[in-house]
Structure 1
Amino acid sequence: MKTLTRKKRNYLPENLVVHGWQNIESFYQELQQRPIESKEAVLQWLADRSETDAVVDEEYRWRYIRQTCDTDNETFKDAYEDFIQTIMPNWMSIGNELNKKLATSAFVKDLDQERFFVYLRHLQAQLQLFREENIPLSQQVQLLSQEYGATIGAMTIEHEGKEFTLPQAGVFLQQQDRNLRKSIFEKVNNRRIQDKEKLNNLFDELLKIRHQMALNAGFTNYRDFMFAELGRFDYDVHACEQFHKAIKSEVIPLVNEIYAKRKQALQVEQLFPYDLEVDVANLPALQPFSTQDELIEKSVKCLTQVDDYFAECIAIMDNMHYLDLNSRKGKAPGGYNMSLPEIGVPFIFMNAAGTHRDLETMVHEAGHAVHSFLMRTLPYNFDQEISSEMAELASMSMELMTFDGLSAFYNDADKKRAIETHIEGIITMLPWIALIDKFQHWIYTNPNHTSTERENKWLELHKELSADIVDWNLYEDFRKILWHKQLHIFEVPFYYIEYGIAQLGAIAVWRNYKQNKAVAIDNYKNALQLGYTKSIPEMYKTAGIQFNFSREYVKELMDFMKNELSN
């Protein structure tokens, strides 16, 4: 089985390992002091800095991976915190100095301006944002965010004498026994309520620090600071508000139709939150796999049905032990694909418990992984620092294109059921994305709010941007803290609307795929290979789709999805 290794280093010693800042400091000092006296010297300097950044960045990412895989391991926790406290501040500070050095070089103008446009645009934005006083605040935020993962990861419930993590408990919500679903739903949410004050207080701390960071950088609020920090050059706050309105007008009516059909099929007087995942035909929950090995084997077969290259990427990761997929106690929540910039082979982390949702997560993360592989040959580390809107296009498109390969997991009847479930899931997820984004807009433009005001605003927005057919009357206390389960709010603020923007793009990719598979896959690969060397609209165009979230375009895509559901 194929194994990949990192390319030969040209600037740093082959055996250099970043145990501490002292291992890498002299190389950054040399970059800072080196004269840049020609266009060729600029290009060499960029290559050497890129190599150095990739080595440090990969060390950080491995430390993050290890402590999420085992939150109880004090050695892993200490190593991660050591990076945040001793390496990160020095790296950020020297990074700003190197940015200034490059920006003031007389020879930058001689570079290919089209080739380096995106990078230089981002560089100027980072220079404008950087404040030395924000370095310790950034450290505090990262360490506090870690507390969220540890708190959620430690949550378990007891059922029939056994202990279950919350992802494991979620499997019971697909069971036919309604009383069982009700019991599990209440146990899970009562467990969340036990840590309500702890998480509210944690978020209050994060909010205070983030707002101060924005003020330090010359912004009036953290939302506007983050739009600049995330490099949202190709759309603005107004475009996000346009997205919220389009979802409300064009998607929520379709969600209500889906849930009304579900209510009728289940023959219930009231549709409660614990009725949303059970199969309406009284069929048992889909069980696509039992073990990690089975999930990997079947995923490779599934991806082969779409494109051999996609399958090869996952097979390589498996061979290199770059997959940790099962849920277990002491593991951080969620799932991610972590790119590793020097070796160019990513790592997938999941909390799989044998559900169809886990299968969806696997092919989603496989899309991210393929993106990482396709960017391996890009010459600079900064070329791989992709926009979220493009990253999520890669993953969400993969979810839809792999419908063809679901026969690796299911018989024909279950495959059809899985596709219908997935399409409905996409439609019902879009309002949640709009809700999380709109909620964060309010949070950070009203930074002096109380936790009670925050709960009330969440309730108001949840009622506005969710299906009114679902009955929450008995569960208002649970409803008030639903946002606690969204790790992005705590750990990566404002990284969420990208899922919605990319989901619209992915639907368009899938529409193209159904019309001409070969052309759609070529366009998809060509777009991903660009990394972040073009603007987002240009990359979407390369993928054969529009960068558009107007009401008219959302309606067009929802009409397509509704037609696919009816078929």
Structure 2
Amino acid sequence: MKFEEMPYSRIDMEAVRKDFADLEKRFTEADSGEKQFAVHQDYYKIIGHIMTESTLAEIRHDIDMTDEFYKGGQDFYDAVMPDIQNLNVRYQKMLFHSKFRPYLEEKIGKVAFKNIELAMKSVDEKILPLMQEENKLQSGYNQLLATAKIDWNGETLNLSLMNPYLHSPDRAVRVEAWKKYSAFFSAHKEELDDFYDKLVKCRTKQAEQMGYKNYLGLGYCRMMRNCYTRSDIAEFRRQVKRDFVPFAERLHERRRQRLGLCSLHFEDEGVYFQNGNPAPIGTPEEILEAGRKMYRELSPETGKFMDFMCDNHLFDVIGRRTKKTGGYMTYLPDYKAPFIFANFNGTSGDADVITHECGHAFQGWIVADDPIREHADITMETAETHSMSMEFFTEPWMNLFFGARAKDYVDMHFEDSCCFIPYGTMVDEFQDIIYDDPSLDPKTRNEVWRDLERQYKPHLDYSGNDYYEQGGFWQKQHHIYDCPLYYIDYCIAQTDALQYKVWMDRDYKSAWSSYLKLCRLSASDFFPGLVKEAGLVNPFEDGCLKSVVRQLTDRMNL
């Protein structure tokens, strides 16, 4: 079914409560594992429909944040979703403690039961008002950013539509663009500080009421960290500082020389060539058609996937003034349909949508017929491995998007992927520090961020911009407000993707076979087991990053 034809009806919470009460009654009365599993299959239908309706409301609200009907829908789900989460966990507790658990565990899998355990530690009826408050604050932050109005040469642009100018080959243009871009954040600094201060305090209160010392324990459960700990991530961060930051700095120095600059200023971040970064050729419609051709040629599976996405209008990628910034892939269970939301703006990021977000979507599509819904509950480092690796697997087709500058794009994407790891790891350490000491005031938080920038990105020069020099850059990073503790998953995944990059350069066919296997494994095993089965080295293993750096250094003659 085409996206615009999918009917939307706001869920009836009374009906939802009755449905869950009926599930619980039938589950309790079932006298065998087989009968309890039959009840559980009805649970799949109920929760899938709830997620479909709430996701439709979210997408259509994000497409036009001035639409009052869907804004009302978003407000409604912000308010009721904590209650739904609580009903869900209450049902899952029965599953977890079932006397027929051995049978159910054999059907659903051990990973699912570990995730249920984490879910039970993540939500409770007593914190529902705080969870509602958290949702409202996140929506307020996104509404503020989505309605940004920046005067640019007589046009009024939002933050997403400023991107081409922030990366202009004309340094004077990008300096002026960054001045206006950062001025928006500086002008709203107190509001942004207030949103985050309230979010930190709200999340900390939730954690304390759930019996945690601070939000980090609760946050790790909510991120379904089912096989590694805070200390494992701290060790990964140490590896990044020791083994990867020096490599990334060599890439920045090479970029400085390529640009012919005496030094790198913050306005030069993300700019790779004197004649400008390669930009995709063609209209948004032509870019999507190029994606269709690429995926048809890549493999039979990806071809069928992309035809399904395009034929059912499961992309909304054109940037508009009233559209939410950023991009994502989400899923509509009732239709077994991924959906990709983005803001095309004429930069290489438009092509990245067709690779990165399609990596997520492809994995969801290829396992859509798996009868065990819990297999779709992949943890984020695995999900991002699917997307970031797809960015590399699609490199042979970049001529379809960039024409004569395909090689420039491939080189730029490689450098950008490598240089992301220090930044993403820095975002994680920032949040680790903030939630470990939620009493820090806004000024101290900014000082923490600026100190971390000097450790992870020592080349950065913010001279002339007081807002960034004082540590305000982090306030543009949606994940810090919306998805606490998420960002390290990108870095773990990027480590996997770089391993695939080395592998595919040596033997593309076997690397692709491994990737397909990883996608199909879904969440049938824990992350260490998945990467081992796929033939990758676990990024948490000491020496993994050092080995990746050595192989990349040899490849690039650095």
With normalisation by structure 2, the TM-score equals 0.94
Alpha-carbon distance, 1:75 to partner = 0.9
Which piece of structure 1 moves more, 37-46 or 159-168?
159-168
Partner in structure 1 of residue 152 of structure 2? 159
Partner in structure 1 of residue 462 of structure 2? 472
In structure 2, how many angstroms separate the alpha carbons of the residues matched to 1:558 and 1:245? 15
Partner in structure 2 of residue 8 of structure 1? none
Alpha-carbon distance, 1:47 to partner = 0.9
Q: 1:306 aligns with which of 295, 298, 301?
A: 298
Alpha-carbon distance, 1:564 to partner = 4.0
Asked if the contact 1:364–1:398 (Cα under 8 Å) also holds between the matched residues in 2, the reply is yes
In structure 1, how many angstroms separate the alpha carbons of the residues matched to 2:89 and 2:251? 51
Compared with structure 1, are the counterparts of its residues 16 and 425 closer, same or farther at alpha carbon in structure 2 (3 Å cutoff)? closer
The answer to whether residue 90 in structure 2 is matched with residue 97 in structure 1 is yes
The answer to whether residue 366 in structure 2 is matched with residue 374 in structure 1 is yes
The answer to whether residue 476 in structure 2 is matched with residue 485 in structure 1 is yes
Alpha-carbon distance, 1:562 to partner = 3.1
Asked if the contact 2:108–2:374 (Cα under 8 Å) also holds between the matched residues in 1, the reply is no
Which runs of structure 2 are paired with 1:401-550 in the superposition (5 Å)? 401-411=393-403, 413-466=404-457, 468-479=458-469, 480-550=471-541
In structure 1, how many angstroms separate the alpha carbons of the residues matched to 2:169 and 2:99? 70
In structure 1, how many angstroms separate the alpha carbons of the residues matched to 2:297 and 2:255? 32
Which runs of structure 2 are paired with 1:68-87 in the superposition (5 Å)? 68-86=62-80
Alpha-carbon distance, 1:284 to partner = 4.0
Q: Which runs of 5+ in 1 are unaligned?
A: 6-14
Deviations, residues 495-519 of structure 1 (Å, cap 9, x unaligned)? 1100000111111123232333333
Alpha-carbon distance, 1:566 to partner = 4.6
**Alignment coverage as a number of residue pairs:** 552
Deviations, residues 427-465 of structure 1 (Å, cap 9, x unaligned)? 111111110000000010001111111111111111111
Asked if the contact 1:302–1:407 (Cα under 8 Å) also holds between the matched residues in 2, the reply is no
In structure 1, how many angstroms separate the alpha carbons of the residues matched to 2:124 and 2:11? 26
Asked if the contact 2:137–2:195 (Cα under 8 Å) also holds between the matched residues in 1, the reply is yes
Q: Which runs of 5+ in 2 are unaligned?
A: none
Deviations, residues 452-483 of structure 1 (Å, cap 9, x unaligned)? 111111111111111x2332222242242110
Matched residue type, 1:73: D
Alpha-carbon distance, 1:91 to partner = 2.0
Q: 2:310 aligns with which of 310, 318, 337?
A: 318
3-state SS in 2 of match to 1:297: helix
Matched residue type, 1:222: Y
In structure 2, how many angstroms separate the alpha carbons of the residues matched to 1:101 and 1:115? 14
Which piece of structure 1 moves more, 252-261 or 43-52?
252-261
With normalisation by structure 1, the TM-score equals 0.93
The answer to whether residue 163 in structure 2 is matched with residue 170 in structure 1 is yes
In structure 1, how many angstroms separate the alpha carbons of the residues matched to 2:108 and 2:373? 14
Deviations, residues 9-57 of structure 1 (Å, cap 9, x unaligned)? xxxxxx9955321343332221111112101112112111112111111
Asked if the contact 2:83–2:128 (Cα under 8 Å) also holds between the matched residues in 1, the reply is no
Compared with structure 1, are the counterparts of its residues 112 and 214 closer, same or farther at alpha carbon in structure 2 (3 Å cutoff)? closer
Q: 1:348 aligns with which of 340, 343, 358?
A: 340
Partner in structure 1 of residue 245 of structure 2? 252
The answer to whether residue 298 in structure 2 is matched with residue 289 in structure 1 is no
In structure 2, how many angstroms separate the alpha carbons of the residues matched to 1:111 and 1:381? 13
Asked if the contact 1:18–1:24 (Cα under 8 Å) also holds between the matched residues in 2, the reply is no
Compared with structure 1, are the counterparts of its residues 380 and 53 closer, same or farther at alpha carbon in structure 2 (3 Å cutoff)? farther
Asked if the contact 2:8–2:57 (Cα under 8 Å) also holds between the matched residues in 1, the reply is no
Deviations, residues 200-225 of structure 1 (Å, cap 9, x unaligned)? 10111111110001001110010111
Which runs of structure 2 are paired with 1:127-142 in the superposition (5 Å)? 127-142=120-135
Deviations, residues 279-302 of structure 1 (Å, cap 9, x unaligned)? 43x324422134220120111222
Matched residue type, 2:43: R
Asked if the contact 1:396–1:506 (Cα under 8 Å) also holds between the matched residues in 2, the reply is yes
Partner in structure 2 of residue 209 of structure 1? 202
Alpha-carbon distance, 1:268 to partner = 2.7
Compared with structure 1, are the counterparts of its residues 465 and 476 closer, same or farther at alpha carbon in structure 2 (3 Å cutoff)? farther
Which runs of structure 2 are paired with 1:208-287 in the superposition (5 Å)? 208-280=201-273, 282-287=274-279
Partner in structure 2 of residue 109 of structure 1? 102
In structure 2, how many angstroms separate the alpha carbons of the residues matched to 1:261 and 1:112? 53
The answer to whether residue 118 in structure 2 is matched with residue 125 in structure 1 is yes
The answer to whether residue 48 in structure 2 is matched with residue 31 in structure 1 is no
Which runs of structure 2 are paired with 1:11-30 in the superposition (5 Å)? 19-30=11-22
Alpha-carbon distance, 1:377 to partner = 1.2
Asked if the contact 1:367–1:395 (Cα under 8 Å) also holds between the matched residues in 2, the reply is yes
Matched residue type, 1:384: A
Partner in structure 1 of residue 186 of structure 2? 193
Compared with structure 1, are the counterparts of its residues 197 and 16 closer, same or farther at alpha carbon in structure 2 (3 Å cutoff)? closer
Compared with structure 1, are the counterparts of its residues 482 and 130 closer, same or farther at alpha carbon in structure 2 (3 Å cutoff)? same
* Superposition CA RMSD, Å: 2.1
Which piece of structure 1 moves more, 101-110 or 350-359?
101-110
Asked if the contact 1:306–1:404 (Cα under 8 Å) also holds between the matched residues in 2, the reply is no
In structure 2, how many angstroms separate the alpha carbons of the residues matched to 1:561 and 1:510? 9
Which runs of structure 2 are paired with 1:385-400 in the superposition (5 Å)? 385-400=377-392
Asked if the contact 1:246–1:549 (Cα under 8 Å) also holds between the matched residues in 2, the reply is no
Which piece of structure 1 moves more, 269-278 or 26-35?
269-278
In structure 2, how many angstroms separate the alpha carbons of the residues matched to 1:304 and 1:256? 38
Deviations, residues 217-243 of structure 1 (Å, cap 9, x unaligned)? 110010111112222121111111112
In structure 2, how many angstroms separate the alpha carbons of the residues matched to 1:188 and 1:130? 38
